[in-house]
Structure 1
Amino acid sequence: MSNRLLLIVVLLSSLGLTACKISTEPTTPEPLVASVETPNEAAPSDMDDPAVWVAAERQRSMVIAAAKEGGWRVYDLEGKALQQFVPGVDSKGKPLNRFNNVDVQYNFNLNGRRVDLAVFSDRRQDRLAIYKIDRDDPRGPLVNVTSPEISRLFPTRPNPDDRSKTVANAEDGKNTAYGLALWRDRSNDRLYALVNQNNEAIIDQWELVARPDNTVSARPVKKWQFAYQYKGQDLTQKSETDPQKDFSPQFEGMVVDQQTGILYAGQEDVGIWRVNLKTGVAEGKPFYETRTFDPHSRIARDVEGLTIWYGRDGRGYLLASSQGKAHGKVPNPTPGLDNTFAVFMREGDNAPIGSFSIGANRGLGIDAVQESDGADISTVALPGFPFGVLITQDGYNDDLNHLDGTVKATNLKFTPWQRVANSFSKALSTDSNYDPRNP
């Protein structure tokens, strides 16, 4: 203690006052680390995309996740497994389902009953897999309500020789259902699924439709086909030896702003596009490019999980995972910006704010997040997460094998939103009154 500080304490004592504890240590934000993680998923399971379901009784809220060929999982807010689905296999031992992405929506009109739904994209079946969410159902909390008559999502694909025409699409999981996001249009009380096509620059809109037998089907509404070239680069170019010459036109990560009806869609190698679902108009170019096309970009190929934190009065933040292909055989052209999440303003032109990464929580034995694929945010205060929570897929659980691209060990990490907010020099907002049931 310095002489000056000691003198102050003595003077306060002589006046009969109690001196408060005075710290000379600098104040720093809480470290940006996760506070919860789910059990490890090893091959053939591969955790991919999470979605937070907010229950009316907040403590009963859950995280629902797609685990690809491992099926799907449901966790409570402490990361404990509540339910799982493991697919059967065909005659060759190959899983019959490959669940790629998942999203949740509330208050779907199922023949006069309002139910919440979790919807998966099934890449192997090329269909939507639709589940009713009910914590009180003894079969649940997820109960399959997919209509047995639901149609394929992508029975055709663009003809590679003339993309103004189509050809029949094999049901082999190669050019089938991939990324998914849901949107409930409050103006007509209809629920839509936005699904993109693997290996193609295609996004389709489907309306979910209740059937008389209380199952749910879907009907096609609209298709957007984007360019297969960007700034002179052929997005179908392939190379087994030079990753800088290996491209894909496909989208995956998507999120819909439930208040504005704007779809944000990540074309993995190119950038983030905006589509106005109310008008059906897609902008002519992405509003933010990857580093391949903008050397100053905070997103490396490939851009992945997109999610939104909703603030008051239309404010908030759009987050995007810079998965980056930073490990293994693919070089990292700009060290320090991969394994990160880029943050944009939600309002206006989505101006970029900065980036953050999620480090290891040594105290709880939770490792860092690398090459995150899917992500989701609950803006609602939940037990253990008073300002909301960011759920991220971790592509290298336990940081195994020096992150060399060969280990299939994945899981989910739960990070309190205030840790994300406080990691910026000018803290992000934690003030929200958003209700996902009535956005």
Structure 2
Amino acid sequence: MIRLTLGLTSLLALAACATTETEVPVATRIANTTPAVNVTARGETTPVGTANADAADDPAIWRNAADPAQSLIVGTDKKAGLYVYGLDGKTRDFLNAGRVNNVDLRDGVTIGGQPGILVVASDRSDVAHAKLALFRLDPATAKLTALGKVDAGTGEAYGVCLSREGAATYGFIVLKDGTIHQVALDASGAMPTGTIVRTMKLGTQSEGCAVDDRTGTLYVAEEDVGLWRFDARAAGSPTPTKIAAADGKNLVMDAEGVAIAPIGAKDGYVLVSSQGDNAYVVYRISDDSYVGRFRVVDGAIGGSEETDGIDLMLGDFGPAYPGGLFVAQDSHNATAAQNFKLVAWDDIGKALGLPR
């Protein structure tokens, strides 16, 4: 595949022969946007197994508090199933789970009577009937075990994110048409169950989402419109508030993956993938204000382009990832199949001049 962000000169040359009358060249989109700082990845995963296709999509991070360097990343190959990677990027497990698109996880969930790591993916095997596929992640072996699937409404499953509200675990499934169902999940028995407790709606195609459990806030990216927030509580209002428009300056459609960097009790940052210009945009949680933009560019490891899913977790991840770990899907991984790039949060914070 052609790497799209080798530099502005290269992009302009490529764009001259690779675009249609209605398509805006990537180089033009980059040239017209708000400036972004550059960071480089410190690691990358092995490519997914599906080659020559848009396959890798969304990551989820599990942090090993007892031994942070042994933390794990779950990533989707939306044509085939779920991968588990170590922080060295090597594949620790692959589960043939079919067409799972996005993924999220929560630790400390009761699974079969015992606390464990619950992994939930949006299952789009049947585009007319959305489902949530549930798995247990064993941190000792890095193996995934399928628990079962629950119904999640009529339509094509797309995005997914999890939340905890008291003792309850919820899955938010974002259907391709912008419908969002909040599903109460119960994995404590022999088979998981799910009940839709609330429905919200955005006007057009949406996918990426993340929940800030501290503040009870759901963030959703409407691809061609912008970034929204909802009350994530089961009894909350279904009315969204727009945080940022896909204005072609700070945020360039498609707006894709969403991730959260929580700081303190109520502050921090929400990040969204500005897929249209190969960048990532940072907003302040406390007041929805724009903070800055960054790109993951070529270094010792290749950069990331046209990113779908992202995830971020702050904290100690060992010496390679001080301050936290940012993971981004890479749609143009040189001549290999798509994969995920790993970036230290400290590198992002320093480049953006964020307070420490």
Displacement after TM superposition at 1:70 (Å): 2.4
- Choose which of 117, 130, 136 in structure 2 pairs with 1:132: 136
* RCO higher in structure (CA 8 A, sep ≥6): 2
- Choose which of 313, 316, 320 in structure 2 pairs with 1:381: 316
Counterpart residue number, 1:436? none
Displacement after TM superposition at 1:131 (Å): 0.9
Cα distance between partner residues in 1 of 2:73 and 2:281: 23
Displacement after TM superposition at 1:258 (Å): 1.4
Q: Structure 1 pair 261/368, CA: closer, same or farther in 2 (3 Å)?
A: same
Q: Indicate yes or no: 2:192 matched with 1:191.
A: no
Q: Indicate yes or no: 2:194 matched with 1:218.
A: yes
- Where is the strand percentage greater, Structure 1 or Structure 2? 2
Q: Structure 1 pair 391/112, CA: closer, same or farther in 2 (3 Å)?
A: same
Counterpart residue number, 1:78? 88
Q: Indicate yes or no: 2:184 matched with 1:204.
A: no
8 Å CA contact 1:31–1:419 kept in 2: the answer is no
Displacement after TM superposition at 1:380 (Å): 1.7
Secondary structure class of the residue paired with 1:281 = coil
- Choose which of 49, 54, 79 in structure 2 pairs with 1:69: 79
Gaps of 5+ in 2: 1-36
Counterpart residue number, 2:214? 259
Counterpart residue number, 2:7? none
- Report the AA paired with residue 352 of structure 1: Y
Which deviations, in whole Å up to 9, do the C-alpha atoms of 1:240-289 show, x marking residues without a partner?
A: xxxxxxxxx11100000110010001111111111102242144552211
Which deviations, in whole Å up to 9, do the C-alpha atoms of 1:58-111 show, x marking residues without a partner?
A: 232100001101211110011011001235xxxxxxxxx211000010111235
- Give the aligned CA root-mean-square deviation in angstroms: 2.0
Which deviations, in whole Å up to 9, do the C-alpha atoms of 1:218-237 show, x marking residues without a partner?
A: 111111133x4xxxxxxxxx
- Report the AA paired with residue 75 of structure 2: A
Q: Indicate yes or no: 2:279 matched with 1:340.
A: yes
Which deviations, in whole Å up to 9, do the C-alpha atoms of 1:344-396 show, x marking residues without a partner?
A: 01212x100111111111xx3x1111111100011021122121111000111
Counterpart residue number, 1:154? 153
Counterpart residue number, 1:39? 46
Instruction: Map residues 305-316 of structure 1 onto 2, 5 A cutoff.
Output: 305-316=257-268
Q: Structure 1 pair 31/224, CA: closer, same or farther in 2 (3 Å)?
A: closer
Counterpart residue number, 2:147? 145
- Report the AA paired with residue 256 of structure 1: V
8 Å CA contact 2:170–2:183 kept in 1: the answer is yes
Counterpart residue number, 1:121? 122
8 Å CA contact 1:100–1:121 kept in 2: the answer is yes
Cα distance between partner residues in 2 of 1:421 and 1:257: 20
8 Å CA contact 1:50–1:63 kept in 2: the answer is yes
8 Å CA contact 1:48–1:67 kept in 2: the answer is yes
- Percent of counterpart pairs with the same letter? 29
Counterpart residue number, 2:59? 50
Rg larger in structure = 1
Please give the TM-score of this superposition, normalised by the length of structure 2.
0.83
Cα distance between partner residues in 1 of 2:305 and 2:74: 20
8 Å CA contact 2:327–2:343 kept in 1: the answer is yes
